[in-house]
């Protein structure tokens, strides 16, 4: 399609498509998905193969720049990121001002946005070189913000990273290293987190990614565009579902484990309760990520020797839903977040941090989509509407109303 030919006046014709169920907003070469067949590819590589064979940082590079990096390219990319990982000490003052009870997603969003003030040149993306600088800056600083957000919540002193560690290893040690203690990385934990981050890394024009693209289309800076995406991700119908799933499974357990009762609630149209972690706007067969995550949850729990009763509740719920006409007719299957929380829990990550971990995984996807949007010189995003309000009427002064 010649996009420029579509940039003409609408001549008064407007498509009404609430929720953009059938409206494409852009052309993209990043992620391919087929919801009917349950297929997901990043830049032409199957998600199953990437989750099994690639490391997260390779996938970050692939999504953003379009090709898997050579060893040399990957080393340089990692070096550039590591050397941009210092966060201005004054950012700690902003973090200090938040109450401990603040939700980590709110804190992460504010700190990401604040980074623009501390790195004013990051908004200059007129050349590819300047764009690259902004990209490696945020890839370096974002994991620090993630770790600080969690440590603030847990009342721990703030850590910095180490240039001798890999990207994912570094995140873990920044999050979990205790004061005056060596932190020994557990390879099972590293591998599990690496896989989870890969599975979350991009998902074409989902709610948060569309938000990043539309915010960035006004030529707002990269960091604030990402902050908009973090806000959109926070909601329980999107990324917030991973926290909501665990809370739901805990509630079922606390209630005696009667999954049927909660299934009935989910089907009751007078009850706003939904089965969290079920259903997807695009996948109407199965979510390929959920298949991989379910298997990984089993393996991680077994490898770490953890018995988590909520895994059994989750499996029971899935089995019932797969046989229930309500869920079958509506094609509601477990999505990526149904089992991810069980893994995060096994890795020792607090429940309120789950969506922050999703944001860490989705960061490269948001960046890739934002970069593509800028390089394609896409026009400002500005949907239309069908006006259904009052027609023109005379103003009545306040004393006469
Ligand atoms: N539990 C019970 N019923 C559901 C659920 C659910 N989880 N999801 C959808 N339905 C029902 C709806 O009530 C509706 O029923 P109706 O046809 O009788 O009115 C029908 O299925 C279609 O649902 P919609 O809301 O129209 O589907 P939509 O594509 O707009 O929403 C969404 C998709 C938001 C993911 C939805 O399935 C949902 O709320 N799921 C629970 C939250 C969740 O897990 N979100 C994470 C999604 S994955 C991600 O963002 C990473």
**121-146 residue pLDDT tens:** 888 888 899 999 999 999 999 999 99
pLDDT value for 292? 93
3-state class percentages of the chain: helix first, strand second, coil last, to nearest 5: 60, 5, 40
- Asked if the model's pLDDT at residue 278 lies above 90, the reply is yes
Report how far ligand 1's centroid is from the alpha carbon of 397 (Å): 46
Q: What is the mean pLDDT of the chain?
A: 93
pLDDT value for 12? 72
280 is catalytic: yes
pLDDT value for 115? 96
pLDDT value for 210? 98
Q: HSE (CB half, 13 Å, CA atoms) of 300? A: 29
**58-74 residue pLDDT tens:** 999 999 999 999 999 99
- Beta carbon of 331 within 6 Å of any ligand 1 atom: no
Report the percentage of the chain scoring pLDDT > 70. 97
Report how far ligand 1's centroid is from the alpha carbon of 369 (Å): 25
**Which helix (H) or strand (E) segment is 269 a member of?**
none
- Beta carbon of 343 within 6 Å of any ligand 1 atom: no
- Beta carbon of 332 within 6 Å of any ligand 1 atom: yes
**339-379 residue pLDDT tens:** 999 999 999 999 999 999 999 999 999 999 999 999 999 99
Chain-centroid distance of CA 281 in Å reads: 16
Of 279, 320, 328, the residue with max ligand 1 atoms within 8 A of its CB, to mutate for a pocket test, comes to: 279
- Beta carbon of 277 within 6 Å of any ligand 1 atom: yes
CA dihedral 375, 380, 383, 387 (to 10 degrees): -170
- Beta carbon of 281 within 6 Å of any ligand 1 atom: yes
pLDDT value for 2? 63
The single residue of 238, 280, 287, 324 carrying the catalytic annotation is 280
Report how far ligand 1's centroid is from the alpha carbon of 69 (Å): 37
pLDDT value for 3? 61
- Asked if the model's pLDDT at residue 7 lies above 70, the reply is no
Instruction: Supply the pTM of this predicted model.
Output: 0.94
83 is catalytic: no
- Asked if the model's pLDDT at residue 243 lies above 90, the reply is yes
The torsion angles phi and psi of 397, rounded to 5 degrees, stand at -60, 150
Closest ligand 1 atom to 245 CA: 44
Which residue is closest in CA terms to ligand 1's atom 29? 281
Mean pLDDT, residues 268-274 taken together: 94
Which residues face 195 on adjacent strands?
A: none
The ipTM, to two decimals, is 0.96
Which residue is closest in CA terms to ligand 1's atom 46? 238
pLDDT value for 124? 81
**35-65 residue pLDDT tens:** 999 999 999 999 999 999 999 999 999 999 9
């Amino acid at each position: 399609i010649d996009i420029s030919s579509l940039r003409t006046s609408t001549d008064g014709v407007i498509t009404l498509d609430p929720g953009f169920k059938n409206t494409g907003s852009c052309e993209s070469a990043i992620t391919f998905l087929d919801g009917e067949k349950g297929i997901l590819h990043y830049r032409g590589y199957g998600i199953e193969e990437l989750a099994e064979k690639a490391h997260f940082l390779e996938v970050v590079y692939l999504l953003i720049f379009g090709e898997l990096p050579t060893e040399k390219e990957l080393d340089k990319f990692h070096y550039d990121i590591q050397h941009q990982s210092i966060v201005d000490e004054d950012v700690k003052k902003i973090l200090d001002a938040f109450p401990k009870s603040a939700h980590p997603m709110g804190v992460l969003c504010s700190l990401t946005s604040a980074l623009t003030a501390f790195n004013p040149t990051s908004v200059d993306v007129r050349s590819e070189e300047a764009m690259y600088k902004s990209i490696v800056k945020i890839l370096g600083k974002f994991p620090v913000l993630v770790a600080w957000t969690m440590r603030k919540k847990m009342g721990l002193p703030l850590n910095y990273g180490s240039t001798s560690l890999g990207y994912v290893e570094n995140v873990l040690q920044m999050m979990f290293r205790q004061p005056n203690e060596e932190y020994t990385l557990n390879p099972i934990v590293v591998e599990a987190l690496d896989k989870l981050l890969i599975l979350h890394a991009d998902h074409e024009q989902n709610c948060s990614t569309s938000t990043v693209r539309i915010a960035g289309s006004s030529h707002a800076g990269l960091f604030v565009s990402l902050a908009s995406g973090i806000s959109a991700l926070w909601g329980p119908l999107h990324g917030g579902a991973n926290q909501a799933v665990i809370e739901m499974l805990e509630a079922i357990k606390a209630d005696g484990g009667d999954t049927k009762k909660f299934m009935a609630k989910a089907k009751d149209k007078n009850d706003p309760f939904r089965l969290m972690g079920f259903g997807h706007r695009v996948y109407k067969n199965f979510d390929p990520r959920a298949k991989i995550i379910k298997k990984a949850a089993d393996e991680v729990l077994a490898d770490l020797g953890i018995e988590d009763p909520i895994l059994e509740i989750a499996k029971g719920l899935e089995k019932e839903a797969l046989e229930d006409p309500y869920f079958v007719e509506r094609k509601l299957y477990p999505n990526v977040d149904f089992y991810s929380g069980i893994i995060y829990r096994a890795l020792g990550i607090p429940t309120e941090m789950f969506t922050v971990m999703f944001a860490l995984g989705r960061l490269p996807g948001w960046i890739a989509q934002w970069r593509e949007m800028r390089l394609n010189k896409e026009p400002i995003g500005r949907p239309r509407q069908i006006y259904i309000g009052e027609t023109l009427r005379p103003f009545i002064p306040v004393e006469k109303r």
